[in-house]
């Protein structure tokens, strides 16, 4: 699949991060990379942004701010906003809008409570989401991988009320095609936040899976801050409209959408390796 091929420059970035892993202990490594990513010191900010943009061939054509030097830090650049109108929502009221820009990694039916990770690897809904995923057995799911060059904010596929979140600490493996194929239960080992919404199509889960570097997930509502030190379940009652931003990745990663049995029909053109863009129709209720 396309996302299994390393992008140009990714070997340099992987080598850099792997090098850090060898010389720094995990907490120190994460703090250092976090500090560099947040730094507004011009030489650090410009170096990180320019090297990353060149390595991953990043286009700012759809971004609100068009120049590499228009960003205050690497994090500000990585979580850049889109220009108004860059990702229109579907015209049909019952259409599900794609929550992110990315590539479909897996899509299909939840077999009882089993989801497909990659060929030969499955994981359970319970190990992914705990009791926050109850009632979605035999439903449908879609896993979307975000490459480093993608827009990194996550939006809601349909109107919904956030009712519960479960913040789960993790081991923080890098998420890409290589590790997806190579680490059993990968998404159940990574830091993640499971978001459960009540919608007109029944319950829906959006699982935001973190990345290699900790402090990689932010949500628009108040809650535990990433990196998560322990599992925390929070009750909510917050309403969102289709297309509203619900969170962003500071580095990473993957979004897993789960719907209840027979609640939605996912678009037939979607398959592992299909590129998708925020706002495009990915199914209907």
70 is known as an active-site residue = no
In angstroms, the CA 6 to CA 54 distance is 14
What is the end-to-end Cα distance of the chain in Å, rounded? 28
155 is known as an active-site residue = yes
Indicate which residue of 101, 113, 140, 190 is catalytic. 101
Beta bridge partners of 283: 96, 266
Indicate which residue of 149, 216, 226, 253 is catalytic. 253
Torsion of CA 86, 92, 93, 94, to 10 degrees: -110
Torsion of CA 76, 164, 192, 83, to 10 degrees: -30
Distant-in-sequence, close-in-space partners of 217: CB < 8 Å, separation ≥ 6: 191, 192, 193, 208, 210, 226, 247, 248, 249, 250, 252
Indicate which residue of 152, 155, 190, 201 is catalytic. 155
CA 69 to chain centroid = 25
39 is known as an active-site residue = no
Q: Determine how many CB atoms are found less than 10 A away from the CB of residue 207.
A: 25
Positions marked active-site: 101, 155, 253
């Amino acid at each position: 699949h396309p996302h299994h091929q390393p992008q140009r420059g990714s070997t340099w970035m992987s080598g850099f991060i792997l090098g850090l892993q060898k010389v720094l202990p995990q907490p120190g490594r994460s703090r250092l990379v976090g500090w560099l990513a947040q730094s507004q010191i011009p030489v650090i900010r410009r170096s990180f942004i320019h090297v990353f943009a060149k390595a991953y061939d990043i286009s700012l054509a759809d971004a609100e701010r068009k120049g590499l030097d228009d960003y205050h830090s690497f994090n500000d650049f990585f979580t850049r906003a889109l220009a108004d109108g860059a990702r229109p929502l579907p015209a049909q009221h019952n259409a599900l809008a794609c929550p992110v820009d990315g590539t479909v990694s897996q899509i299909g039916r939840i077999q009882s409570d089993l989801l497909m990770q990659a060929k030969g690897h499955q994981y359970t809904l319970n190990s992914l989401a705990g009791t926050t995923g109850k009632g979605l057995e035999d439903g449908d799911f879609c896993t979307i991988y975000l490459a480093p060059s993608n827009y990194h904010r996550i939006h809601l596929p349909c109107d919904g009320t956030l009712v519960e979140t479960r913040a789960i600490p993790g081991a923080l493996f890098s998420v890409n095609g290589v590790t997806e194929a190579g680490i059993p239960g990968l998404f159940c080992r990574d830091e993640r936040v499971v978001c459960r919404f009540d919608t007109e199509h029944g319950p829906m889960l959006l699982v935001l899976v973190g990345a290699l570097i900790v402090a990689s997930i932010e949500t628009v509502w108040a809650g535990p801050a990433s990196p998560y030190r322990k599992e925390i379940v929070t009750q909510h009652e917050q309403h969102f409209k289709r297309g509203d931003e619900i969170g962003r990745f500071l580095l990473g990663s993957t979004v897993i959408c789960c719907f209840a049995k027979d609640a939605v029909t996912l678009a037939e053109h979607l398959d592992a390796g299909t590129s998708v863009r925020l706002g495009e129709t990915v199914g209907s209720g």
